[in-house]
Chain A
Amino acid sequence: MLDKQLVYDVLTVALSTGGDLAEIFVENTAKDTIEMINGQVEKAGWGIDYGLGLRIIQGTGAVYAYTNNTSRESLMKLAKESAQAVKAGTKEDGSIKSVITLDRRERLSFADKVAIPPEKVGKKTIVEQLRAASKASYEFDPLVTQTSGNYIHVAQNMFVANSNGVWAEDRRVRTRVLVQAVASEGHEKQTGYLAPGAKGGYEIIESLDMPGLGRSTAEVAVTMLKADLCPGGRMPVIIDNGFGGVIFHEACAHSLEATSVAKGASVFCGKIGEKIAAPCVNAIDDGTLLGEWGTLNIDDEGTPTRRNVLIENGVLKSYLVDYLNGLKMGTPTTASARRESYRFAPTSRMTNTYILPGADKTEEIIADTEYGLYAKQMGGGSVDPASGQFNFAVLEAYMIRDGKIAEPVRGATLIGKGHEVLMDIDRVADNFKAGQGMCGSLSGSVPTNVGQPMIRVKEMTVGGRK
């Protein structure tokens, strides 16, 4: 995407004041969107995100500058100013890195496979797919009063090169729909929501049962509308598969990111090789899974992605590490460097982060629980990695009484500390499923998959209004 001589010249100027590593990241991203409300298209968008980020690392600090003017004049000025921000002469021998290697390694070039480019089918076809979901929601129950459907298609062409010889490019193509149904009666309103997405083009939508998505969201909304308020207090909690994996994502995996670990702001610092979870817990972060929402060919520093085992039989095996935090920790990168766009310096993030399936049967887990909460579908949440304290909303929840799923309850939240909950997982089922999300953190919002089978936590704090 940039001329080799220009890349060379920018990196040379960037390192002229004593920086250890200089890196260029360029992207040209096309975004296509449709927003349907109550079965009618209200908004449609298209645009180009374009820009360059220059990073200079010196010691364990970094200078980051970005712009969308990539003319030679603008970039040389940017490189010069950024180099001036690097505190010159802080190296013991005062040396300046004079040799810049480009192409030392193999040139990497990837592109996601797209079976049906959306522009081939046209936006009107996609509109009809969204409408099918909306129609099915309305037909499911007269209590459904609103629906919304969104379509997002993003094709990011990115290029990254650094003074250590990385030269890599990737074309990342993702497609996602978000389907929502609202059921209401009097002043009470409840929402059902599903948002499947994957790498690829229109074939992703074609493979979905859009009316089925509409019905499922309507069913959750209607069930929750009729539900009583959730009781608060401490109780056993069963969290189902799919988006239920957000609990591990928030409560544990964020605290395994080098962003927190490198500066000693994680509850899991210094715990490699130690038991941090119950023996039934095995967890991975795998950026290589074919076609998954969180998958990447290369990370945003140009490192090919891999399968990282995070927890094996309850023992902590690895953190998620990017180059810069790896320098601080004395650990190599795990190909976990990600950024929303050129506007963000990369840092350690998740890709597809899963609790692996166990041996338990879902029916047995429920039958063995006398009283507790069954969180069938989770909403979003957040965590403070330093204390491990997290919170989640539960979109669809039921009480468990005498080993059976009993009445639905609404307004439940789950709170606790990640490292405590990991130890308290006592059952792991065999029904693994993944769910898609957008994860927000220091380097912006990135697509990630969460996933798990049904798990049970012995005891958790449930927030409710009753």
Chain B
Amino acid sequence: MDYKTFRDEVFAQAKAKGFEDYELYYSAGNGFSVRVFKGEIAEYKNSSTEGVGFRGTYGGKMGYSYSEKLDTALIVPMLANAMANAGIIEEEEVEKLYPGDKEYQKVDGYSPAINDTEASEKIQMALDMEKYALSLDPRLTMADYCSVANQESHVAISNSYGLDLSQKTNRAYAYMLARAEEDGVTKSGMEVWYGKNFADFDYKSLAKKAVDTAVSYLGASPVPTGEYPVIFDTYTAADLFGVFSKIFIAESGQKGFSLLNKDKVGETIAAPHVTIRDDGITELSLENSAFDAEGVATQNKAVIENGVLKTLLYNTKSAAKDGVESTGNASKPSFGGAISTSTGNFYLVPGEKSFEDLISGVENGVLITELAGLHSGANVVSGDFSFSADGFLIENGKIARPIDQITVAGNFYELLKNISEVGSDLRFHYFSGLIGMPSFLTGGLKIAGL
């Protein structure tokens, strides 16, 4: 059934049931993806989905419910469950609906050009990408997960205060995992392309990067256990900051799940050349948003500026608790989930030196290019981490040989202070949150290997 008709019916019934205020969050999406394997289509996916999340104040507390079925028969159980859920909320800070801002930044996140590419062309791109990858090196055994995809999403928020916002975005992407084998040992290299127009997609470049990475790991072995200067490349830097970006969420600190809180604002918590920004809208990223999940206008702000903590990230509830304004960082895990907080376009502002220059400045160190066990190996509360890692040994400013089967361990808070150089090669990673990272050099990390 039509969303607007459904919404009007929900609002009428919510009012009749005695909800003090109420909101409907609508989300719809269309997706396409094709994955090829050994010259044939292995999987072809098409989807079209929609769903609504309801929240409303009942007895002074916020109650939630959701449905993927836009069926008026479900409005009664939705409202009844939202009332029951409101009835058990005990938290003192009250969650409130947002009436809206006067102005919102302009975003043009929808690229009609993505739709100009036919399914058959996308299938051909995937086939070409696989074929080209396999032609590049005899040690390549397969191009796994060789996929081309696009997706569009539509979000709308309306509430009883007259808030009425909507936003449509879309994206195209492609990826593959090259697998190479030598002496019975398999090594893999992943590469992703993300864009707003398939005309910009260079399948050869993607395939070559994935293959080069896989092949470069062949013959890897551990290094002796010890402390090394470490360079994280843009990928692993994004993995690491993706895990620990949670510490900048104000709610984490308020609940004691982060060592940072409003009293730390103004303190030096990182090296002086470290500036981290969180922007709602930036030219550096392809995923921009004018409003957050509560309908608050997004902002562009420094989180850390030259090592000094400038702000934490807030939604309206956590902001009220700290006596500040929301930073427009409210999020929902999905349309049905409760309001929480997340990073926007979160990035480490790049420095001057290229990735190659960072390497040439290291006498004896380790370049980390793959991390595994990101969630199990991290204690976000204390900042301690210990990850399984692969990469390269650096000797006299040059890459000497590949490394595998090591762990890299340290503490994120210490690492922020120990970052000695930030590279210029910023890249946004859209699959590990929206994290933009250049490579960087840090000292004081423990590597366990032989």
A residues near B (Cβ < 8 Å) are 28, 34-35, 37-38, 40-51, 59-69, 78, 81-82, 85, 87, 122-124, 127, 145-146, 182, 184, 187-191, 232-234, 263-265, 267, 343, 345, 379-382, 384, 386-387, 389-393, 410-413, 415-417, 461-466
Q: Are A64 and B446 in contact (CB under 8 A)?
A: no
Contact with A along B136-155 (1 / 0, CB 8 A): 00000110100000000000
Interface residues on B, range: 35 or more
A87 to B44, CA, bound (A): 11
Q: Which residues in window 375-406 of B have CB below 8 A to A? A: 375-377, 379, 381-382, 384, 386-388, 404-406
Chain B residues contacting A145 (CB-CB under 8 Å) are 256
Which among B74, B144, B388 is the interface contact of A389 at CB below 8 angstroms?
Answer: B388
CB distance from A375 to the nearest CB of B (A): 13
A49 to chain B minimum Cβ distance, whole angstroms, is 5
User: In the bound complex, what is the Cα–Cα distance between A400 and B37 (angstroms)?
Assistant: 48
Q: A68-B49, A387-B186 are in contact. Are A59 and B66 (CB under 8 A)?
A: no
CA distance A37 to B252 in the complex (A): 11
Which of A48, A51, A123, A465 meets B386, CB within 8 Å? A465
Of the candidates B84, B382, B407, which one forms a contact with A463 in the assembled complex, judged by CB atoms under 8 Å apart? B407
With CB as the reference atom, state the residue of chain B lying closest to A145.
B256
B89 touches A62 (CB 8 A): no
Interface pair B375/A380, CB less than 8 Å apart: yes
Closest to B338 in A: A43
With A47-B66, A48-B69: A232-B225 Cβ-Cβ less than 8 Å: yes
Q: Report yes or no: B255 in contact with A64, Cβ–Cβ below 8 A.
A: no
Q: A391-B373, A393-B373 are in contact. Are A65 and B49 (CB under 8 A)?
A: no
- Given known pairs A46-B82, A391-B372, the reply for A413 and B144 (CB within 8 Å) is no
Q: CB-CB < 8 A to A122: which residues of B?
A: 84
A85 touches B256 (CB 8 A): no
CB nearest to A29 among chain B residues = B68
Q: Which residues of A contact B57 (CB under 8 A)?
A: none
In contact, A44 and B88 (Cβ under 8 angstroms): yes
B50 within 8 A of A: yes
- Give bound CA distance, A465 to B44, whole Å: 45
Taking each of B82, B144, B381, B410, which has the highest tally of chain A beta carbons within 10 Å of its own beta carbon? B381
Q: How far is the CA of A182 from the CA of B407 in the complex (A)?
A: 25
Q: List 7 A-B contacts (CB under 8 A).
A: A38-B256, A61-B42, A66-B48, A187-B382, A232-B407, A390-B388, A464-B446
> Judging by beta carbons under 8 Å apart, are B448 and A463 in contact?
yes
Residues of B within 8 A of A50 (CB): 67-69
Q: How far is the CA of A51 from the CA of B186 in the complex (A)?
A: 39
Contacts of B387 in A (CB 8 A): 391, 413, 463
Q: Which residues of A contact B37 (CB under 8 A)?
A: 263
* Across-interface contacts of B144 in A (CB, < 8 A): 263, 265, 386
Given known pairs A386-B186, A411-B386, A465-B384, the reply for A59 and B409 (CB within 8 Å) is no
- How many angstroms between the C-alpha atoms of A415 and B376 in the bound complex? 12
* 10 nearest A-B residue pairs (beta carbon): A463-B407, A232-B448, A391-B388, A47-B66, A391-B373, A46-B81, A380-B376, A44-B85, A393-B376, A50-B69
